[in-house]
Chain A
Amino acid sequence: MSVHVSTLQARITGESTASSPLSTEEYFVNMGPQHPSTHGVLRLVLRLDGETVREVVPVLGYIHRGIEKMGEHGNYRQFVHLVDRMDYLSALANNWAVTMVVEKAAKMETNDRIQAIRTLVCELQRIQSHQLWWGVFGMDLGGFTPFFYGLRDREQICDIFEKTIGARLTMNYIQPGGVMFDIHPDFVKDVKAFLTYFKSKMPEYDALMTENVIIQERLRGIGKLSAERAIALGATGPVLRASGVAHDLRKSEPYGLYSQVDFDVPVGTVGDCWDRYWVRMEEMRQSVRIVEQLIDNIPEGKTFLVKPAAKIKVPAGVHYSHVETARGVLGVLLVSNGKDAPYRIHCRTPNFNNLWCIGEMATGGRIGDLVAMLSSIDIVVPDIDR
Chain B
Amino acid sequence: MNIVVAIKHIPSIADDLPVKGNNVDFDSVDFVLNEFDEQSIEQAVLVKESVGGTVTVIGVDLIGELDNVLHLALAKGADKAVKITGDDPSADSHTQAKWLSEAIKGLSPDIVFAGVQASNDLDGQIGPLLAAHLDMPYIGGVSSVGVSGDTATVSKEFAGGVGAKYAVTLPMVVGVQAASKPPRYAPISKVRQIAQTATVEKVAPSGDASSGLTFKKMAPPVAAGHAEMIEGSSKEVAAKIVELLKSKGLA
> Do A and B originate from a single complex?
no
Chain A residues within 8 Å of B, Cβ to Cβ: none
Chain B residues within 8 Å of A, Cβ to Cβ: none
